Chains A and B, each alone.
Chain A
Amino acid sequence: MAKFIDNLMEWMDTMAEARTRRIASVAGRRSFLQKAGGALVGGIVLPMLPYDNSNGAAFARGLGEPGEIPTDCEYWRYCSLHGGLCAHCGGSITQCPPGSMPSKVAWVGTCRNPNDDKDYLVSYNDCCGKGGDCGEACSRQEGDRPGYRMGLASESSWCVANGDKGIHCTLAVVVGIAQ
């Protein structure tokens, strides 16, 4: 019975991810499913996206951002952030510090980029596998919803799906345009 439930949970995670991705692609602007799709996509697709391997310097292309992305909590891509930025911890805005791994799942915010006045989906992946604090946290939490909309729930640990549960810091990865 327990094995059946485990398989069912795994299937639910997979199906929910696939379904929300599909609906997200056709759902209206700022709708929940769009955001939730992004939330679940964030962790899965993250490794396949044009990924920052240069400490944040290259990722800003197309977003009108400066070469060095600001870490001020009021900066636009942190609109739903709830945690300490990995840029303060030996990583960058999009890179976990050495020795930690991005969470497989994440919550997502929809943030307005003042550079082009567009809304972007920002995936807030926790970096997992290390403990210890490293800098002040930001708690803007715009668009946050309780756990009944888990993909928008910034009050959850997002290392839940990782084998290593330690939460070290949080990324703010732009994963799509909210259209």
Chain B
Amino acid sequence: MAHTLSALLGAACLVGAVAGPASALAQDAEFVPEHATAKETMDPGPNVFVNMQNWRGGPSAVYMYSANDLTLKGSVSGGAQSHFTASKDGKTIYLVSGFYPRISSGAGEHVLQIFDVATNRLQKEIVLPYKVTQYTDDRALLQLSADERFLYVQNATPATSVTVVDLSKGKVVQEVPSPGCYGIYPATKGYSYSAICNDGTFTTFALGADGTTFESKKSDKIFDPDADPIYLASERAEGDLLFISYHANVYRLSDSEGVVKPVSVTPIAAGVDGNWGTSGYSVVTYNDANGILFVPMAPDHHDGSHYHAAKEVWAYDLKKKELLYRSNVDGLNAVYVTDDALPVLYGLSIDQNKVYKYEVDPGARFAAKKVAEHADFGFATTLASSP
């Protein structure tokens, strides 16, 4: 048997040696070698941005998905514990993160990186004061002024302050001390922003025209941080600021007169069985076209459950003060709704490491139906969409 096998192998080799050159010649005539290249730009169309925040020394990344079907189109990356925001036109990403050459020991620096969305390419870097807050990402930690000239960066050493970057000059122009206050909520015009303070007040910081000076005004007490703490997450509704508490009370505030004033407080879970409470990180999102608030909610709410995954997203009509619909969702920790007449809701799940898309039906009391999903590759608590 061994002799037979050897004979067959020998014959095969002989045939191969004789026929080989002819086959190679045939392939040469047809074969076109490939070349490694780089795609110049992302595929066109609206995007969803998701900030994947790396707490292990980096890299963090902003993933860019097709807003239509959540296909992953591109990404930009920075250092550790990133915070991000995007320009209104969706063409520029601002990413602030930490770069630690030895990862977990020794010196480091905090850097603002500005990326072109279309090409995913780095446009500019600005080194920041080495005191950027190292905190689970929230959109309130990195914000643009209304005209996008200034970028405001939250610091915590743990003493809190805000670094002001003049983007037109490409440099840091001021550090505004804000002891006991945290979060950045820019005014809809001019160069002022407000912050939440530890006694339940807000302080509004009004910058000078060149960003190098400031004046501040403190509000009356707005909420009780012991009994009804609010999240950092916020959204605009007809010019007002919306916040929500752990216990699902919506605080509508006005900052139009240079100091924050209360407009209304609306408990959205009052009278609903099951002890429902707000659940997640990015927990307030508002559809302008229809005036509908969307909030991730979970039952059996208790002390310490406020960042847990939501079981439902509630659609709430703030004008009529009416709970319209409770949609089942996949354990979301963050939500974002578009401002379109036909709203689209996007959500993130930390447990599932996924981003989801839901179509919302205004004709069905704003019920949300899942239509797409994709992996989001890590710890993500903030998202936004672009035109």
Chain A residues lying within 8 Å of B156, measured Cβ to Cβ, are 147, 150, 156, 160
Chain A 139-156, CB-CB to B under 8 Å as 1, else 0, gives 111111111111001011
Least CB separation from A10: chain B residue:
B159
Q: Which residues of A contact B4 (CB under 8 A)?
A: none
Contacting pair B100 A165 (CB below 8 A): yes
Q: Tell me, in angstroms, the Cα distance from A12 to B134 when the chains sit together.
A: 19
Q: Which residues on the A side are within 8 Å of B177 (C-beta)?
A: 5, 8-9, 12
Q: Which of B29-37, B43-51, B299-307, B314-322 touches A?
A: B299-307
Within residues 115 to 163 of chain A, which ones have a CB less than 8 A from any CB in chain B? 129-131, 139-150, 153, 155-157, 159-161, 163
Nearest-neighbour CB distance to chain A for B182, whole angstroms, equals 4
- Residue A68 interfacial (CB < 8 Å): no
Contact A142 B304, beta carbon cutoff 8 Å: yes
Q: A32-B226, A142-B303 are in contact. Are A156 and B104 (CB under 8 A)?
A: no
CB distance B225 to A147 under 8 Å? no
Nearest residue, chain B, Cβ from A13 = B159
Contact between B182 and A146, CB atoms less than 8 A apart: yes
Q: A9-B157, A149-B225 are in contact. Are A166 and B133 (CB under 8 A)?
A: no
Question: B55 — which chain A residues lie within 8 A by C-beta?
Answer: 157, 167
Q: Check: B264 CB closer than 8 A to any chain A CB.
A: no
What interface size band does chain A fall in? 35 or more
* B129–chain A nearest beta-carbon distance, Å: 7
Please tell me if B231 contacts chain A, counting CB pairs below 8 Å.
yes
A148 in complex: contacting residue of B103, B107, B197, B226, CB < 8 Å = B197
Cβ of B196 to closest chain A Cβ, rounded Å: 4
The interface residues of chain B lying within 8 Å CB-to-CB of A10 are 159
B198 touches A155 (CB 8 A): no
The interface residues of chain A lying within 8 Å CB-to-CB of B225 are 32, 145, 148-149
For A149, the closest partner residue in chain B by CB is B198
Q: Please tell me if A2 contacts chain B, counting CB pairs below 8 Å.
A: yes
The interface residues of chain A lying within 8 Å CB-to-CB of B103 are 131, 166
Binary flags per residue of B121-146, CB closer than 8 Å to A gives 1, else 0: 00000000101011110000000000
Judged by DSSP, the binding face of B is loop
Distance of A16 Cα from B156 Cα, bound (Å): 13
Residue on A with the closest CB to B129?
A2
Q: How far is the CB of B134 from chain A (nearest CB, A)?
A: 4
Residue in B closest to A5 when the chains form the complex, CB atoms: B175
The answer to whether B104 and A166 have CB atoms under 8 Å apart is: yes
Q: A129-B105, A144-B304 are in contact. Are A2 and B100 (CB under 8 A)?
A: no
Alpha-carbon distance between A13 and B159 when the two chains are bound, in angstroms: 6
Residue of B100, B129, B157 touching A160 (CB-CB under 8 A): B157
Chain A residues near B196 (CB-CB < 8 A): 146, 148
Give Cα A153 to B156, complex, Å: 12
Q: What are 11 inter-chain pairs, A to B, with CB distance below 8 A? A: A131-B104, A140-B304, A146-B182, A147-B182, A150-B160, A156-B156, A161-B157, A161-B158, A164-B106, A165-B108, A167-B55
Which B residues are within 8 Å of any A CB, using their own CB?
55-57, 80-81, 98, 100, 103-108, 129, 131, 133-136, 154, 156-161, 175, 177, 179-183, 195-198, 225-226, 229-232, 303-304, 306-307
The 4 lowest CB-CB distance pairs between A and B, nearest first, are A166-B104, A147-B182, A157-B134, A142-B304
